[in-house]
Structure 1
Amino acid sequence: MKRIMFAVLGAISLSACAQAPQAAAAKTDPVKPAAAAAAEAPKGAAPKVAAGSADARAVDAIRTLSPNINIDKVGAAPMPGFREALAQGQVVYVSDDGRYLFLPGSGGALFDTQAKRNLSEDTLAGMRKDLVKSIPVSERIVFSPPNPKHTVAVFTDVECGYCRKLHSEIAEYNRQGIAVEYLAFPRAGIGSEDYKKMVSVWCAADRRKALTEAKSDHGVAAKECKNTIEQQYNIGQRAGLTGTPMILNSEGVQLGGYVPPAQLRQALDKLAAESKTAAKPTAAVATPVGGL
Structure 2
Amino acid sequence: MPRLITAALLGALSLTACAQAPQAPAADKPAAAKPATASTAASGSAEDRARAAIAKLNPRAKVEYVGAAPLPGFREVIAGGQLLYVSDDGRYLMQGAVLDLEAQEDLMQNSPALAEHRRKLIATIPHAERIVFAPPNAKYTVTVFTDIECGYCRKLHGEVGELNRLGIAVEYLAFPRMGLGSQDHKDMISVWCSPDRKRALTDAKAGKPVAPRDCKNPVTMEFDVGQRIGVSGTPAIYSAEGVQLGGYLPPAALRAKLDELAAKKAPAAAAGAAP
TM-score by structure 1 length?
0.59
Between 1:112-121 and 1:163-172, the stretch displaced more is 112-121
> Which of 122, 125, 131 is the matching residue for 1:132?
122
Deviation at 1:220, TM superposition (A): 2.0
- 2:5 aligns with none
> Which of 260, 276, 279 is the matching residue for 2:269?
279
- 1:188 aligns with 178
Question: Partners of 1:230 and 1:213 in 2: how far apart?
Answer: 21
- 2:187 aligns with 197
Query: Residue 213 of structure 2 aligns to which amino acid in structure 1?
Result: K
Contact 1:141 1:183 in 2 (8 A): yes
Question: Partners of 1:217 and 1:154 in 2: how far apart?
Answer: 19
Instruction: Point out where structure 2 has 5 or more consecutive residues left out of the alignment.
Output: 1-17, 20-72, 74-84, 86-91
Contact 1:129 1:252 in 2 (8 A): yes
Question: Partners of 1:264 and 1:226 in 2: how far apart?
Answer: 33
Contact 1:173 1:179 in 2 (8 A): yes
Deviation at 1:104, TM superposition (A): 4.0
Question: Partners of 2:269 and 2:100 in 1: how far apart?
Answer: 20
- 1:159 aligns with 149
Contact 1:156 1:163 in 2 (8 A): yes
Deviation at 1:118, TM superposition (A): 3.4
Question: Partners of 1:248 and 1:261 in 2: how far apart?
Answer: 14
Contact 1:156 1:246 in 2 (8 A): yes
- 2:253 aligns with 263
Deviation at 1:250, TM superposition (A): 0.4
How do 1:18-33 residues align onto structure 2 when only pairs under 5 Å count? none
Q: Does 1:174 align with 2:164?
A: yes
Query: Residue 271 of structure 2 aligns to which amino acid in structure 1?
Result: P
Contact 1:151 1:180 in 2 (8 A): yes
Query: Residue 212 of structure 1 aligns to which amino acid in structure 2?
Result: T
Query: Residue 106 of structure 2 aligns to which amino acid in structure 1?
Result: N
Instruction: Point out where structure 1 has 5 or more consecutive residues left out of the alignment.
Output: 1-17, 20-80, 82-92, 94-101, 284-292
> Which of 135, 147, 155 is the matching residue for 1:145?
135
Contact 1:152 1:180 in 2 (8 A): yes
Query: Residue 98 of structure 2 aligns to which amino acid in structure 1?
Result: L
How do 1:37-116 residues align onto structure 2 when only pairs under 5 Å count? 104=94, 108-116=96-104
Q: Does 1:118 align with 2:106?
A: yes
Query: Residue 192 of structure 2 aligns to which amino acid in structure 1?
Result: W
Deviation at 1:267, TM superposition (A): 0.8
Cα pair distance change 1:147/1:103, threshold 3 Å: farther
Deviation at 1:103, TM superposition (A): 9.8
Contact 1:152 1:248 in 2 (8 A): yes
Question: Partners of 1:279 and 1:112 in 2: how far apart?
Answer: 22
Deviation at 1:114, TM superposition (A): 2.4
Aligned-pair identity (%): 57
SS, match of residue 271 in structure 2: coil
Question: Partners of 1:256 and 1:249 in 2: how far apart?
Answer: 10
Question: Partners of 1:137 and 1:109 in 2: how far apart?
Answer: 33
Q: CA RMSD in A?
A: 2.7
Cα pair distance change 1:282/1:159, threshold 3 Å: closer
